[in-house]
Amino acid sequence: MSENISVLGLGLMGAALAESLLAAGHHVTVWNRSPAKADPLVAQGATRAATPAQAVEASPLVIVCLLDYASVKEVLEGAPLAGKVVANLTTGRPAEARDLAPWVAGRGAEYLAGGIMAVPQMIARPGALILYSGSEQAFDRYAPALAAMAEPRFTGDDPGMAPLLDLAMLTGMYGQIAGFLEAAALVGSAKYPLGEFTSSLLVPWLTAMAAQQPAWAEKIESGDHSTVVSNLEINRSGLETLVRTFREQGVKPDLLLPMKTVVDQRTARGLGHEGLSSLIEEL
Ligand code: NDP
């Protein structure tokens, strides 16, 4: 079903979102602070709005993708929001989403907070995911249209939930990138070809390790860290070996050290017999 949808914010991400909605056959109205960014979309059939108020006026579903929450409030202030659904896909903190939701509701609109798990090039392609939280009624009404941008996943009525899960996923990603960069520096110190190490050794290893994580999640949820594949003490010793090796190879272990610090703290308290999942108790 073709919907009327407005997109406010046509940066790299907003433009990709608007383009995917146009390609799916929706009637898209676009607004951007610097008007020229709307030109390619207008050439593809979008309608240009001269002001945020005009853009909001044009459609019952208003998608916002701006720099930050401060710019979202600035842009929506004074716009005729009553009766609209506002899907704010701007990255922000859970607290900001919980603050904006009543601000939007107070102006008579339903609110969805979003967390985009994709880069612009992935929009409308398999693998792209957008997390939503807030008004389930609004999500159910527009999920088919939102699916043009990325798989839509509703995560609960707390508006802060999608931003929180977005940041949790980024946390996992940064941990993985930190591990990759340290491994790459170590491999580089021995002049082993990094591409070969990455594709034939590291990626299969990380994939096998990632497959263990649901079992870790079960342990953490149950609070039972007693069953051990390898205990904290052996990991303390392993991290010590790693850090010494880094120093001997002339590589800084800085991205690895925070983990070692927490392992050292917990083993120093006599808890070395526990499994590695017990580190969650330190966090
Ligand atoms: P860009 O820097 O490309 O675009 C920023 C947008 O915000 C532009 O449309 C800009 O307008 C607008 N803007 C900034 N400040 C104001 C303001 N005070 N008033 C009005 N408009 C303003 O960023 P992206 O498009 O990449 O990112 C947009 C959001 O999407 C961010 O929250 C980002 O975290 C999120 N996101 C981006 C991803 C990515 O890979 N790019 C991935 C996942 C999420 P103007 O053109 O006039 O400067």
CA of 71 to the centre of ligand 1 (A): 9
Rounded Cα–Cα distance for residues 178 and 180 (Å): 5
Predicted confidence at residue 91, as pLDDT, reads 96
CA of 67 to the centre of ligand 1 (A): 4
Contact present, 95 and 85 (Cβ < 8 Å):
no
Please, what are the averages of pLDDT over each run of 10 residues along the chain (283 residues)? 96 98 98 98 98 98 98 97 98 97 97 97 98 98 98 98 97 97 98 98 96 92 82 96 97 96 96 93 93
| Ligand 1 pocket, residue 162 CB under 6 Å | no
| Ligand 1 pocket, residue 93 CB under 6 Å | no
**Which of 39, 263, 10, 27 has the alpha carbon at shortest distance from 145?**
27
Domains and CATH numbers, the chain: 4-157 (3.40.50.720), 165-281 (1.10.1040.10)
Predicted confidence at residue 228, as pLDDT, reads 60
Ligand 1 atom index nearest CA of 9: 9
Is the pTM of the predicted complex or chain greater than 0.75? yes
- pLDDT per residue as tens digits for the range 226-253: 866 789 999 999 999 999 999 999 999 9
Predicted confidence at residue 229, as pLDDT, reads 75
| Ligand 1 pocket, residue 14 CB under 6 Å | yes
Contact present, 67 and 47 (Cβ < 8 Å):
no
| Ligand 1 pocket, residue 32 CB under 6 Å | yes
| Ligand 1 pocket, residue 9 CB under 6 Å | yes
Predicted confidence at residue 226, as pLDDT, reads 83
**Which of 237, 239, 236, 234 has the alpha carbon at shortest distance from 255?**
239
Terminal-residue alpha carbon distance, the chain: 47
Residue 208 CA: distances (Å) to CA of 205, 213, 214 = 5, 10, 12
Mutate to test the pocket of ligand 1, among 8, 10, 13 (most ligand atoms within 8 A of CB): 13
